[in-house]
Amino acid sequence: MRITELFASDISKILAVYENNFSDGWKENMLISAFNEGRFLCIGMENEGEIIGVLTITVGETEADIEGVVTKKEHLRKGVAKALINYALEKLTAQKKEKVFLEVREGNLLAINLYKSFGFKSISVRKKYYFDGENALVMLKEI
């Protein structure tokens, strides 16, 4: 397995990972727009030529927002998300970013605990943030 940066030419591979897990994830037009803005970073975990995990980030001057971390179902709990987050945080630290934000479903305890293991802290709640009415926790890591 290896971590690689993904580009607009990889949109079909990125969508395949999201569609494996979510009906409400990134759509093709959203990814095209994000890549065209020039502040978007997409990191993938590749295994035998297949992208099995994706982490997407919007990068600002001093801050970044992790937009999503997703792993194909058959590769869950194998360290893919952990490796992607670690790589992203190293890259953002090297770029001298000061803060990293993310939103996570309030009920996604597995993800919340993973983020906490990297030093993310809950800073607020966005009520009924998701289409099904679930709240989102806003988390922050200062680097």
This prediction's pTM = 0.92
| Closest alpha carbon to 56 in 100, 94, 96, 99 | 100
Are 126 and 135 in contact by the 8 Å Cβ rule? The answer is yes
109 within a domain of the structure (yes/no): no
How many structural domains is the chain composed of?
Answer: 1
What's the domain range around 65?
A: 2-102
53 within a domain of the structure (yes/no): yes
The string of pLDDT tens digits covering residues 75-134 is 999 999 999 999 999 999 999 999 999 999 999 999 999 999 999 999 999 999 999 999
Q: CA 58 to CA 81: how far, in whole Å? A: 17
Q: Which residues touch 25 (CB under 8 Å, ≥6 apart)?
A: 18, 19, 68, 70
13 within a domain of the structure (yes/no): yes
77 within a domain of the structure (yes/no): yes
136 within a domain of the structure (yes/no): no
pLDDT at 23: 61
CATH number for the domain harbouring residue 27: 3.40.630.30
pLDDT greater than 90 at residue 10: yes
Indicate the helix (H) or strand (E) that contains 63.
strand 63-71
97 within a domain of the structure (yes/no): yes
124 within a domain of the structure (yes/no): no
